Amino acid sequence: MLDKKLDELDQLLKRSRAYGHAISMIHWDMETEAPEKALERASEVLGVLSEAAFENFVNPKTKELLDYLNENFDKLDEIRQKSLVKLTKEYNKEVKIPKELISEYESLKAKAQAVWSKAKESGKFEDFAPYLEKLVDFNLKFIDLRGYEGHPYNTLLDDYEPGMTVEKLDEFFDYLREHLVPVIKVGLEKSKNINDDFLNESYDINKQKELSKFVAEYMNFDFSKGLLKESVHPFTLNFGKNDVRITTHYYENNITSAIFSTLHEGGHGLYEQNIADNITDTPLGEGSSMGIHESQSRIYENVFGRSYELWKGLYPKLQELFPRFNEVSLENFHKGINKASASFIRVEADELTYSLHVMIRYEIEKLIFNKEVDVKDLPKIWNEKIKEYLGLDVPNNSLGILQDVHWSCGLFGYFPSYALGNAYASQIEVQMRKDMDLDKALLDGDFNSINKYLTDKIHKYGSSLKPNELMEKLTGEDLNPKYFVDYLKNKYNFN
């Protein structure tokens, strides 16, 4: 009987995978190549498929199945047990949302993304505002239906960082605010005289593509089970561990953007490619949390990607493709790619100021979900906060509130993951340096060793370990922002 039920569960998961696969594939297509007028049809299709996916999972038969398995919990192996806990949580979350609402929400998101994309170009927040309002309303409704403890925003946070709360995040960001602001002042001052103009000359896009491909290969991103493509906003998307896709974006006058996006998304991609075979097709076959996921993207992008040691090996390739860099010493290049300066765009921000951008999104989302703010006032609030934390006057909404795609995709509660990711990354780096000679591996371009370490300690577990379990197992303590502040203090002391 138990075997029969487990079989039923596997069939259910197989169907879930298929619907999820189809939905993701259509999103992938829309982000990377679909023609403009394809949108309407794609939205309709996403609506139907989401409904089918919902009906497949949320129904009395699933409830009965989960109940039966939960009653026989002790007879299951560990992977089954953890999968069941996760699935039951997911079921209890989804069963509370009426299916019509989901399908409406999916079509709204599809449209909102297109509208956002145009509004980002024109800078007209008022075009996107009605969609954003509706997206927020949907999420407020979801929170009501799902319930919440403490702050309503907690319900959304938990979707991306299991167990995360406003209380914990306030503490985290308070620490950063307190300790980072003086470091930032010093760092920005020290960076002032660094010349990085050579990064913003004109660089052939086709050669940049070749370089990004080379970088992805250099870090051992596996192209037999993945690919690298272009999109407006770089992202990673995967279908199990054997089909992991990353994107980057090329700017003629900015040679670093594509490189660091490739390293960043490559980090996400390696995480997915290296999840253990025996859990990839279970509910545990994904990252532990978005924060841990971001730790992997940020560790490749920043800790490894902006290190002198990595570029010692990579620089000759850059010089080969762009002879201009024969006139730039590796030392000056290294300083250039680490130069800090207050800037408008989060994804292009340096490590020093990056977390402040995230902090602002966090503060704004908290206001939104506490109903303390009108959507139409968001540009003003954004601009005021950028002025307060970074001393900058935002010239238009494209460089301000509209810069990020997340809200148009319904990703509320996601932003904090970025700051958590930085903090986790530094904490992991400290442990890594205790366990292996990281500098030597970077100098040798030995990503076999680097990836093996991270696979053994993080990637392979998927979400079978929660973020705090993973961090405690690896570093002996839960999230601690101290390491990140130390990292920045140390880094921005160079001359």
* Interface residue list for a second copy (CB under 8 A): 14-15, 17-18, 21-22, 25-26, 28-29, 33-38, 40-42, 44-45, 47-49, 52, 206, 223-227, 229, 239-240, 242-243
* Contacting residues for 389 by C-beta, under 8 A, at least 6 apart: 356, 359, 360
Give whichever of 33 and 178 is closer to a second copy, judged by the CB atom.
33
Give the angle subtended at the CA of 296 by the CAs of 293 and 300, to the nearest 5°.
Answer: 150
Give whichever of 238 and 463 is closer to a second copy, judged by the CB atom.
238
Give the angle subtended at the CA of 406 by the CAs of 125 and 284, to the nearest 5°.
Answer: 170
What minimum distance in Å lies between the beta carbon of 82 and a second copy? 22
Q: Report the alpha-carbon distance of residue 296 to residue 437 in Å, rounded.
A: 18
What minimum distance in Å lies between the beta carbon of 387 and a second copy? 40
Residue 170 structure tokens = 């306030």
Give whichever of 106 and 404 is closer to a second copy, judged by the CB atom.
106
What minimum distance in Å lies between the beta carbon of 28 and a second copy? 8
Give whichever of 455 and 480 is closer to a second copy, judged by the CB atom.
455
Tell me the Cα Rg of the chain.
23
Residue 238 phi, psi (nearest 5): -140, 155
User: In 10 A of CB 39, how many CB atoms?
Assistant: 16
Q: Catalytic residue among 31, 106, 265, 429, which?
A: 265
Q: What are the Cα distances from residue 406, in Å, to 7, 68, 201? A: 37, 38, 30
Taking 3-state DSSP, the helix, strand and coil percentages for the chain, each rounded to the nearest 5, stand at 70, 5, 25
Q: Report the alpha-carbon distance of residue 191 to residue 186 in Å, rounded.
A: 9
What minimum distance in Å lies between the beta carbon of 202 and a second copy? 18
Give whichever of 416 and 462 is closer to a second copy, judged by the CB atom.
462
Q: Report the alpha-carbon distance of residue 171 to residue 442 in Å, rounded.
A: 34
Half-sphere exposure of residue 60, counting CA atoms within 13 Å on the CB side? 0
What minimum distance in Å lies between the beta carbon of 45 and a second copy? 4
What minimum distance in Å lies between the beta carbon of 244 and a second copy? 8
Give whichever of 51 and 439 is closer to a second copy, judged by the CB atom.
51
Report which DSSP code applies to 148: -
> Using an 8 Å Cβ cutoff, are 321 and 289 in contact?
no
Give whichever of 268 and 361 is closer to a second copy, judged by the CB atom.
268
DSSP code string of 130-143: HHHHHHHHHHHHHH
Is residue 201 part of the annotated active site? The answer reads no
Give whichever of 93 and 207 is closer to a second copy, judged by the CB atom.
207
The alpha carbon of 230 is separated from its chain's Cα centroid by a whole number of angstroms, namely 17
Strands 244-248 and 226-230: parallel
Alpha-carbon dihedral angle through residues 277, 279, 283, 288, given to the nearest 10 degrees: -100
What minimum distance in Å lies between the beta carbon of 214 and a second copy? 18
What minimum distance in Å lies between the beta carbon of 42 and a second copy? 7
Query: Is the C-alpha dihedral spanning 250, 251, 256, 260 positive or negative?
Result: negative
Give the 3-state DSSP-derived string for 187-204, with helices as H, strands as E and coil as C.
Answer: HHHHHCCCCCHHHHCCCC
> Using an 8 Å Cβ cutoff, are 401 and 379 in contact?
yes
User: In 10 A of CB 37, how many CB atoms?
Assistant: 7
What minimum distance in Å lies between the beta carbon of 217 and a second copy? 13
Give whichever of 41 and 75 is closer to a second copy, judged by the CB atom.
41
Q: Which residues are catalytic?
A: 265
